[in-house]
Amino acid sequence: MLEEFKDEQTIAYKIIKNTLSKQHFAHAYLIETNNYSESFKLVMTFAKMLLCPNYNNGQPNCNNCHQCQMIDDNNFPELKIINPDGNWIKKEQLTELQEEFNKKSIIGNKKIYIINKAEKLNNNSANTILKFLEEPQEGIIAILVTDNIYQLLETIISRCQIISLNGQAKFLKNKSSLEKIALLSTDNEIDYNNFIKDENNQEKINIILKFIKYYEKNHKKVLLYMNEYWFDYFQTKENISWAILIFIYFYKDVLNYKINCPIEIFNDYIDNIKEVANLNNIINLTNKIKVLNTNRNYLDNNANLNLLMDKIIIEMEVNYD
């Protein structure tokens, strides 16, 4: 039931409720999960409400009719769910879907396809989706779900109505930045407590913020000082991966600040946030987050650790050249 998301996902709840009550549907929705643990449940609830024939007959929370049952059993012909096949979502998966959907619908007047992990679209499959989105067909609704919106093509994003879920729901409220970072860096209570106790972690966060500050003011010149600002502290793959993640969270918060959304993680560092916000526009910030994300994802593919940070800096500077 949608109601169960009312408090945790207020914005998504309102958008969905509004869409359904006005019966005014976008051709495509892009759900940005922000790692919200119940995101798939929410997506399925949304899909079910779009498809259930009782929605407009005074039973908005049906969950009971033949259609709803079939959807629960993953057996409803007008709802297709696509997951990555191996590392990628493949073009063949999408053309197959298209062929099936070109047949006349059997039940109801809508067809929905859900693409999970849309960031796993490769060049070919992304172009196929783009064609769907450019020439929407009456009654077909796409729901793209992504953990990482920055890996999607701008052209895809711009054709979707974005519903961004609140990933910090519940568990991050009223915590210090260090506690939030500890929660995001560990997956059990013992590690969490050790993370907080270890003074090195606070020190590392300070070093990353100092590095960002120096970089933001001096741009490529920071490359001359990489040893003292970076390499002395971050050497192993795990360390570097973690540090880049902190980098990403920080820039995301700068972006939040810039677009008047609540600061998620770095609430204790509002001066740093403001300073960096003044030095960037939204395009710069989005680009920086994208560069960091992409390079972090390639860490496992034998990336040269010594050159990785240099590469990131150079790529982040592209918009300034």
- Give the interface with Zn ion as residue ranges (CB under 5 A): 52, 54, 62, 65, 68
Tokens, residue 16? 């969905």
List the one residue out of 8, 140, 163 whose CA is nearest residue 78. 140
Please say which residue, 62 or 94, places its beta carbon nearer to Zn ion.
62
Please say which residue, 65 or 130, places its beta carbon nearer to Zn ion.
65
Q: Which 3-state string (H, E, C) describes 162-219?
A: EEECCCCCCCCCCCCHHHHHHHHHCCCHHHHHHHHHCHHHHHHHHHHHHHHHHHHHHH
Q: Chain-centre distance of CA 208, in angstroms?
A: 23
CA distance 196 to 200: 9
In the bound complex, what is the minimum distance in angstroms from residue 72's beta carbon to Zn ion?
10
In the bound complex, what is the minimum distance in angstroms from residue 23's beta carbon to Zn ion?
16
Please say which residue, 65 or 133, places its beta carbon nearer to Zn ion.
65
Yes or no: say if 132 and 19 are a contact pair by the CB < 8 Å rule.
Answer: no
In the bound complex, what is the minimum distance in angstroms from residue 283's beta carbon to Zn ion?
43
CA distance 18 to 22: 6
Please say which residue, 21 or 239, places its beta carbon nearer to Zn ion.
21
DSSP-assigned states of every residue in 244-286: HHHHHHHHHHHHHHHTTPPP-S-GGGHHHHHHHHHT--HHHHH
In the bound complex, what is the minimum distance in angstroms from residue 65's beta carbon to Zn ion?
3
CA distance 241 to 110: 43
Please say which residue, 54 or 98, places its beta carbon nearer to Zn ion.
54
Yes or no: say if 25 and 16 are a contact pair by the CB < 8 Å rule.
Answer: no
Yes or no: say if 93 and 66 are a contact pair by the CB < 8 Å rule.
Answer: no
Please say which residue, 77 or 136, places its beta carbon nearer to Zn ion.
77
